[in-house]
Amino acid sequence: MDINSLKKTGLVIKLNNEPYQIVFSQHSRAARGGAFVRTKLKNLITGQTLEKTFNSSDKIQEADIQKAKANFLYSKNDKFFFMNNSTYEQFFLNVNSLDNQKKFLKEGEEVKVLLFEKNPVNIELPQKVNLRVIESPPNVKGDSATSPSKNVVLETGFTINAPVFISKNDIIKINTETGEYVSRV
């Protein structure tokens, strides 16, 4: 695989025998030298990010990642427990590897588990999820003119900015990539 392949954000490569996902990449060309790509990589196992520059002579290997369906069961301390839907095996992922994804996980939620060398290393959430509002400041007449939004707390404990007409027990759709309100369900 050559460095031109590194332009794809989301691609998972194998580096130091671990899977790294490309979060950011910038292709450049030096005046006299060859081309190079500056990248920001996220380790799918530890959740840590790393900045690395690849030269045109570097050998890059795409990681062998399989995807399987799984359900989120529960969390305890820093571990999030899942069950693989095809094998019915339970496994856990550390809170560090999940990063912001933990904000959108509710019991029973179906996700895709990423398997690296047949071991679960991370998950992929649906682009949008529906979550119940458990706390919402009361609406005051005329509020929408002064402040078109307010902070509400979701069933996962995550606080999000939502329109003022959202009330407690409403179910709202959230974009898991941006963490933003999409619509009321």
Instruction: Kindly calculate the radius of gyration of the chain based on its CA atoms and give it in whole angstroms.
Output: 20
Residue 92: burial class (beta carbons within 10 Å; 0-12, 13-18, 19+): middle
Structure-block tokens of residue 141? 């007449």
Give pTM, 2 decimals.
Answer: 0.80
55 and 7 together in one domain: yes
- pLDDT over threshold 60, residue 145: no
- One domain, residues 144 and 171: yes
Which of the listed residues 76, 109, 124 is the one where a domain comes to its end? 124
CATH number of the domain bearing residue 8:
2.30.30.30
> Which residue range forms the structural domain that includes residue 10?
3-62
Q: From 17, 37, 62, give the residue that closes a domain.
A: 62
Number of domains comprising the chain: 3
- 55 and 75 share one domain: no
pLDDT at 53 over 70: yes
- 148 and 116 inside one domain: no
Q: In the structure, what pLDDT confidence band is assigned to residue 33 with cuts at 50, 70 and 90?
A: confident
Cβ-based neighbour number of residue 116 at 10 Å? 19
**Tell me: the pLDDT tens digits for 109-141?**
999 999 999 899 999 999 999 999 999 988 766
CA distance 10 to 24: 9
Same domain, 76 and 99: yes
**Token digits for 162?**
């939502």
Same domain, 42 and 93: no
Mean pLDDT on 60-88: 93
Q: Which amino acid is at 157?
A: G
What single-letter amino acid sits at 142?
A: G
Q: What percent of the chain has pLDDT over 90?
A: 61
Are 31 and 71 members of one domain? no
The pLDDT value recorded for residue 146 is: 62
Same-domain pairing of 46 and 69: no
Question: What pLDDT score does 45 carry?
Answer: 87
Pair 70, 120 in one domain: yes
CATH number reported for the structural domain that contains residue 136 in this entry: 2.40.50.140
Q: How far is CA 149 from CA 29, 59, 108, 139, in A?
A: 45, 49, 30, 10
Q: How far is CA 13 from each of CA 1, 84, 108, rounded to the nearest angstrom?
A: 10, 24, 30
One domain for residues 82 and 56 = no
Residue 33 CB coordination number (10 Å): 10
Assess whether 53 and 9 both reside in one domain.
yes
